[in-house]
Each structure stands twice: as structure tokens, then as C-alpha cells.
Structure 1
Amino acid sequence: MVPVPQLIRDAVLLLARMVLGVVLVAHGMQKILQGVSATAQGFGGMGIPLPEAAAVITMAVEIGGGVLLILGLLTPIAGVLAGLVLAGAVVFAHLSNGLFAADGGWELAAGLGVGALVLAVVGPGRFSLDRLLLRRLRGPETPAGP
């Protein structure tokens, strides 16, 4: 493997967080604009258990998790929660429709979910609030001893 310079790695992680976060927020806003009742009714029609609770949780994770990913804040938690919500979307809403998103298939939900899990595992990179807060918690860096 060819090593990737840290600046490029961090820039790509920032780009991934931004794109994934914006898509999550947009999907959450679609559900908010439809309303909890309409979203829950749709979820119920797909066989999602506890559709009202699932609708509220999905909206919160898509919007809240999307914003957290954009900011690079609580990235492991936001990534795992988004991954779980999107796994549910794959299983309950998309798997039976085949691969392609144009046909209601699972490709988009699976790609977003895996992307969220990758960010949860790899981390948000240097250009993130997680990194800024971690630096503040650790305090000023001291030079290594002899």
C-alpha cells in the first residue's frame, strides 16, 4: 500500500463526513416534513415494529446524527447509530426491491450505512470537533522525555 499523507487523509474524512451528514439530514428532514404520523404509517406498512417509535428514532438519528457527523462530534456514536438505522432501512424497506436505488433497492441505504460505520471505526480526522475537544481534555502537549 502507498501511504497517504495525513493532510489528504483528514481532508477525505472531512469530505466523507460532510456528504454523508448532508444526505442523512436531508432524509431526516423529508420525514419531518411528512410528519411523524405519515412516516409511522409508512413504516408500519413495511412491517417495521413499533412504527411510531421507529419514526421518531429514525428522524432523530438522521438529523441529529447527520449534524454530528458534519461537525465531527461524537463521531463513533453518531456513526454506529446511523449504521443501525440504515441497516433497518435495508432490511425492512429496500432489500426486497433488489439492488438499485432507482427501483427502491438497497444500494443507497447500504452504502450510507457502511460509510457511517467506517467513520465510527476510523474516526473523524483532524478537522473535527472530536479532535479539538480531545486536545483540550489532554491539555498542552509536552515534549517526550529522555
Structure 2
Amino acid sequence: MIEMARPIALLLARVALGFIFFAHGWEKFVVSGIDATAAYLRSESVPLPWVAALGTAILELVGGAALVLGLLLPVFGMLFTLDMLGAFIFVHADKGIFVSTDGFELVLGLAAASLAIAFSGGGMLAADSRLRRHRAKAAEHAVR
């Protein structure tokens, strides 16, 4: 039963995580803007705040969409894990755990989920799985 549910559970987790990251990237570009995001990062003493704001916004927007599609999961899963590690170190670590005090519970949860997705295979309908199957068939035909 668990083995049958695993691909569906991974699909739902991957899509939810991708949606969260995509929404955060959209917010940085459209709602608050890169300049306001950079100003916040500057107030938190993040190095190169404008570059960090732009890079994070691009990663979250593009990578969030990639997670939803199940594309390049090891790459984007690890990039999101590192991104959340940076958010933990530079912004949230000294504010306690709870998000209500700008603590690290959200970034810790997102980092853990990103790490799991990076090594999960992505579940049902993951583009990575389709690409692996396509490559395996192509390799099989090449051997013949």
C-alpha cells in the first residue's frame, strides 16, 4: 500500500513545494520588487543584497516551476537547500524558531523538503523520470 502511495505523495509534496517557492519568487519580482527585497536583505547585513535579491528571486521563480514539472530535481533541490541555508545563517538563526518572530521554522522546513525532493525521484509525472526512461530506451536501441 505504501509503495503505491509513494509516487502520489511525492508528486503532491513536489508540487506544493514548487508552488511555495514560485510564489516567493513572484512576490520578490512583482509584489515588493527587487529593490525592496534588496533593501530588506541590506538591513539584515546580507552581503551583496541586490545580487542576492535578484538571484534568489530568479531561483525561486524558475526553480519553483521546475519543481512543479519535476525537472532537474537534484539540481534545484540542492540549490533550494543552499538558498534556505543562507536564509537561515544570514537572516533567521538568531531570531528563534517561530516564524511569528521571523525565526527559522519556515526556512528549516523548506530546506528539509528541498533536500528530500532532490533525492526522491519526484514521484508521478516528474519530467526527470520521463527523461530517464527516454534515455534508457535510446541506450537500449543503440546497443542493438
Q: 2:116 aligns with which of 93, 96, 118?
A: 118
Q: Report the 3-state secondary structure (helix = DSSP H, G, I; strand = E; otherwise coil) of the residue aligned with 2:132.
A: helix
Q: Does 1:31 align with 2:32?
A: no
| CA deviation vs aligned residue, 1:28-60 (integer Å, no higher than 9, x gap) | 111112222111111111111111111111001
Residue aligning to 1:17: 14
Q: 2:53 aligns with which of 45, 52, 55?
A: 55
Paired residues of 1:21 and 1:67 also in contact (CA < 8 A): yes
Distance 1:122 1:128 in 2: 11
Q: 1:141 Cα shift?
A: 9.6
Q: 1:102 aligns with which of 97, 100, 103?
A: 100
Aligned AA (1:31): K
Paired residues of 2:17 and 2:113 also in contact (CA < 8 A): yes
Q: Higher helix share goes to which structure?
A: 2
Distance 1:38 1:8 in 2: 42
Identity rate, percent = 37
Residue aligning to 2:40: 42
Q: Kindly report structure 1 stretches of 4+ aligned residues shifted beyond 3 Å.
A: none
Residue aligning to 1:72: 70
Distance 1:16 1:103 in 2: 26
Distance 2:77 2:65 in 1: 11
Any stretches of 5+ residues in structure 2 without a counterpart?
Answer: none
Q: Report the 3-state secondary structure (helix = DSSP H, G, I; strand = E; otherwise coil) of the residue aligned with 2:122.
A: coil
The count of residues paired between Structure 1 and Structure 2 equals 139
Q: Normalising to structure 2: TM-score of the pair?
A: 0.90
Any stretches of 5+ residues in structure 1 without a counterpart?
Answer: none
Distance 1:123 1:61 in 2: 20
Aligned AA (1:24): F
Q: Report the 3-state secondary structure (helix = DSSP H, G, I; strand = E; otherwise coil) of the residue aligned with 1:139.
A: helix
